[in-house]
Amino acid sequence: MMTLSLQRAKCSIRLLCSQALKSTNYTENIKSYDEVPGPKPIPILGNTWRLFPVIGQYEVGDVAKISQIFHEEYGEITRLSGLIGRPDLLFVYNADEIERMYRQEGPTPFRPSMPCLVRYKGVERKKFFGELAGVVGVHGEPWKEFRTRVQKPVLQPQTVRKYVGPIETVTKDFITRIEKIKNSEGELPADFDNEIHKWALECIGLVALDVRLGCLADNLTPDSEPLKIISAAKFALRNIAELELKAPYWRYFPTPLWSRYVKNMDYFVEISVNELDLSLVERILANEKDPKIAYILALDLILVGIDTISMAVCSILYQLATRSEEQEKIFKELEKIIPDPSVPLTTKHLDQAIYTKAFIREVFRVYSTVIGNGRTLQHDTVICGYHIPKGVQVVFPTLVTGQMEEWVDDAKTFKPERWLKENSDKKLHPFASLPYGHGARMCLGRRFADLEMQVLLAKLIRNYKLEYHHKPLKYKVTFMYAPDGDLKFKLIKR
Ligand code: HEM
C-alpha cells in the first residue's frame, strides 16, 4: 500500500544531507559582500524606488514574480540593498545552502517579517504585552521562553486529534451553508473566498478560544463580530508588505496607515481578552500559571491562523476543480476509506488518506501559500561563497526553489505521486519546498492547519464533484499567494 512520505522525506534528508555538506564547500576564495549580484541601488533613493508606482519596475503585490526574476537574472544568490529604513534582503536559491542555514540557526532564530508587530507589541502596547509577548513579532530570549511554554501542548498530535470531531462539525455547517448559497446551477457565488474565511475563523475560534463564533450563520452584517475579525486579520497581514517595503515611514513618525494598523491590532487584543473564557488554549496550558500566556497565544493564533489557511484552501480547491483526474483519485481514495459518508471522521480515516495529503503537499510545492521564509543573520556567515555580514535578512523563496529542476525531478509537472514512498528514489530536496518553514521557529499552527484542510477535503470531495467553468485564474500575492479572482466553483452532489 502507498504510504505518505514521512519516511520518504527522511530518506531524502539522509541522502541529501551528505551531498549538502560536500557541495557547500565554499571555504576557498570567499568573495566579499559587495560582489553579491543584484539590482544596483541609486544615490538617495536606493532600491526602494523600484517598488514605487509608475517609476518602479516592481509591484509590491508581485513579490512572487520579483523573486523569480531575481533568480533568472542573478543566479543562486541575489542582494537587494538600499531599501529605506531596513537591512538588505538576500535571496538564496540554493537548497543545500538553505538547509545548511536552517540547521545552523541556533536556539533563537530571528524571522524578520512583521517589524510593525514588533513595534506594536514591544513599544506601543508594551504595558499589555510585558516581557512575554507571544511568538509572532517577538525575538530572542522572550520568544524562546514563550515558545517553550506553549510549543509542546500546541503541537502534540494528541491535542490535535481531539479536534477532528469539532472541526468536522464546523465543516458540516460549512457544507450546509454551501448548499444554501449555491445557485440553481450548483455554482458558488463570486465571493466564495469570504465563506472560506468564515469557515477558517470558526475553526480557529474553536481551537484558540473554545467558542463557536457563529461565522457560518446566514446574513451576517459587516459590523457583526465574525466579519469584523476577518477583516481585521486580513488588514493585519495584507498591509505588511506596504508598511514594510514601500512606505516604512512609520518608523519615523505615525503615518495614517500605521495608526490604522495600531487600531486594528487593538481590536485583536480586545477580542482575545473578552472572548476568552475557559479556553482550549487555557486548558492546553493546564500547567501554566500566568493567564496572560493564554490570551496572548490565542491572539497570535487568530492573527495568523485565518488568512493563511483560508488562502491555502482557496488554492487547493481551485487546483482540485481544475484537475479532474487528480480529484477523481482523491474521491476514489476517500470512497474506499469512508464507504458510508455519514460515519463520523476519525484520525484513522485521515491517516489513510495518503493521496489526498500528497495532493495538498504538491499544491504547496507548486503554489506555496507563503511564498518564502526568512531569517536575520545573527552572525557573519558564508553563503554561496560570499561573506555575508550579520544583520542581513536572508530570504528563502520556497515558491521558486520548490520548482527548480536542480532540486526536484520533473519540477514543472504537477505530480502528487512524487510525495509517495514508492517514488522515494526520485530527486526531491527536503529543503526546496518548505511551506511551513523549518526548525525551532516553524509554523506553530501547522498541525491544526493540516487537520483543517484534510477534514475539509474529506467531507467535500467525498460528497461532491468540484468543477470550475470560467476564465483560468492567475495567482497573486496579497501577503499570501493564491488565485486572484472569483472562485465560482460548481458543486455536483456525488
Ligand atoms: C496552510 C496554512 C499555513 C501556512 C502555509 C503557514 C506557514 C507558516 C510559516 C512559513 C511560518 C514561518 C515559519 C518559520 O519561520 O520557520 C509560520 C509561522 C507561524 N504560524 Fe503558520 N501557517 C499556516 C497556518 C497557520 C495556522 C492555522 C496557525 C494558527 C492556528 C498558524 C500559526 C503560526 C504561528 C503562531 C507562527 C509563528 C511561529 C513562531 O514564530 O514561533 N499558522 N506559518
pLDDT in tens, 161-182: 888 999 999 999 999 999 999 9
Look at residue 387 and tell me whether its pLDDT is greater than 90. Answer: yes
pTM here is 0.89
Question: Which residue out of 284, 304, 369, 431 has the highest number of ligand 1 atoms within 8 Å of its CB and is therefore the one to mutate?
Answer: 304
Look at residue 343 and tell me whether its pLDDT is greater than 90. Answer: yes
The answer to whether the CB of 453 falls within 8 A of the CB of 360 is yes
Classify residue 364 by burial, with Cβ atoms within 10 Å: 0-12, 13-18, 19+: buried
Least confident of 169-173, 348-352, 373-377, 411-415: 373-377
Determine the Cα–Cα distance for residues 98 and 395; give it in Å rounded to an integer.
9
The response to whether residue 312 sits with its C-beta less than 6 Å from ligand 1 reads yes
pLDDT given at position 265:
87
pLDDT given at position 269:
83
Q: What is the pLDDT of residues 436-486, one digit of tens each?
A: 999 999 999 999 999 999 999 999 999 999 999 999 999 987 778 899 999
The response to whether residue 397 sits with its C-beta less than 6 Å from ligand 1 reads no
Q: Can you give the C-alpha Rg of the chain in angstroms?
A: 22
Interacting residues of 384 by C-beta distance below 8 A, sequence separation 6+: 26, 76, 77, 92, 94, 97
Determine the Cα–Cα distance for residues 2 and 337; give it in Å rounded to an integer.
13
pLDDT given at position 8:
45
Atom 20, ligand 1: residue with shortest CA distance: 443
Tell me the three cell numbers of residue 398: 520556497
pLDDT given at position 26:
56
Of the candidates 71, 67, 32, 129, which has an alpha carbon nearest to the alpha carbon of residue 374? 67
Ligand 1 atom closest to 147 (CA) = 41
Residue 443 assigned ligand-binding role: yes
Q: What is the pLDDT of residues 110-128, one digit of tens each?
A: 987 777 888 888 888 888 8
pLDDT given at position 150:
86
Better pLDDT: 353 or 252: 353
pLDDT given at position 233:
81
Ligand 1 geometric centre to CA of 442 (Å): 7
Look at residue 50 and tell me whether its pLDDT is greater than 90. Answer: no
Atom 42, ligand 1: residue with shortest CA distance: 445
Q: How far is CA 341 from CA 179, 180, 239, in A?
A: 17, 20, 41
pLDDT given at position 2:
37
Ligand 1 geometric centre to CA of 444 (Å): 5
pLDDT given at position 15:
39
Percent of the chain with pLDDT over 70: 85
pLDDT given at position 161:
83
Average model confidence (pLDDT) across the chain: 85
Ligand 1 geometric centre to CA of 85 (Å): 26
Question: Which residue out of 111, 114, 199, 308 has the highest number of ligand 1 atoms within 8 Å of its CB and is therefore the one to mutate?
Answer: 308
Q: What is the pLDDT of residues 124-148, one digit of tens each?
A: 888 888 888 899 989 899 999 999 9
Q: What is the pLDDT of residues 264-300, one digit of tens each?
A: 888 888 877 776 554 556 565 666 667 778 888 888 8
What is the SS3 string spanning the chain? CCCECHHHHHHHHHHHHHHHHHHCCCCCCCECHHHCCCCCCECCCECHHHHCCCCCCCCHHHHHHHHHHHHHHHCCEEEECCCCCCCCEEEECCHHHHHHHHHCCCCCCCCCCCHHHHHHHHHHCHHHHCCCCCCCCCCHHHHHHHHHHHHHHHHCHHHHHCCHHHHHHHHHHHHHHHHHHCCCCCECCCCHHHHHHHHHHHHHHHHHHCCCCCCCCCCCCCCCHHHHHHHHHHHHHHCHHHHHHHCHHHHCCCCHHHHHHHHHHHHHHHHHHHHCCCCHHHHHCCCCCCHHHHHHHHHHHHHHHCHHHHHHHHHHHHHHHCCHHHHHHHHHHHHHHCCCCCCCCCHHHHHHCHHHHHHHHHHHHHCCCCCCEEEECCCCEEECCEEECCCCEEEECHHHHCCCCCCECCCCCCCHHHHEHHHCCCCECCCCCCCCCCHHHCCCCHHHHHHHHHHHHHHHHHHEEEEECCCCCEEEEECEEEEECCCCEEEEEC
What's the chain's length in residues?
494
pLDDT bin (cut points 50, 70, 90) of residue 155 is confident
Q: What is the pLDDT of residues 228-261, one digit of tens each?
A: 888 888 887 777 767 776 667 777 788 888 888 8
Tell me the three cell numbers of residue 30: 570567499
The response to whether residue 81 sits with its C-beta less than 6 Å from ligand 1 reads no
Look at residue 13 and tell me whether its pLDDT is greater than 90. Answer: no
Give the CATH number of domain 1-494; options: 3.40.50.2000, 3.40.720.10, 1.10.630.10, 3.40.50.10860.
1.10.630.10
Percent of the chain with pLDDT over 90: 53
**Beta partners for residue 483, in sequence order:** 475
Look at residue 88 and tell me whether its pLDDT is greater than 50. Answer: yes
pLDDT given at position 285:
61
Q: Residue 425 CA to chain centroid, in angstroms? A: 28
Ligand 1 geometric centre to CA of 411 (Å): 25
With vertex at residue 182, the alpha carbon angle to CA 181 and CA 187, rounded to the nearest 5 degrees, is 150
pLDDT given at position 256:
85
Ligand 1 geometric centre to CA of 115 (Å): 16
For the chain, the structural domain boundaries read 1-494
The response to whether residue 284 sits with its C-beta less than 6 Å from ligand 1 reads no
The response to whether residue 436 sits with its C-beta less than 6 Å from ligand 1 reads yes
pLDDT bin (cut points 50, 70, 90) of residue 19 is very low
Between strands 474-478 and 489-493, the pairing is unpaired
**Amino acid occupying residue 79:** R
With vertex at residue 347, the alpha carbon angle to CA 169 and CA 305, rounded to the nearest 5 degrees, is 60
Q: What is the pLDDT of residues 181-222, one digit of tens each?
A: 999 999 999 999 999 999 999 998 887 777 888 899 998 888
pLDDT given at position 210:
75
Ligand 1 geometric centre to CA of 103 (Å): 19
Tell me the three cell numbers of residue 488: 465560482
Better pLDDT: 479 or 49: 479
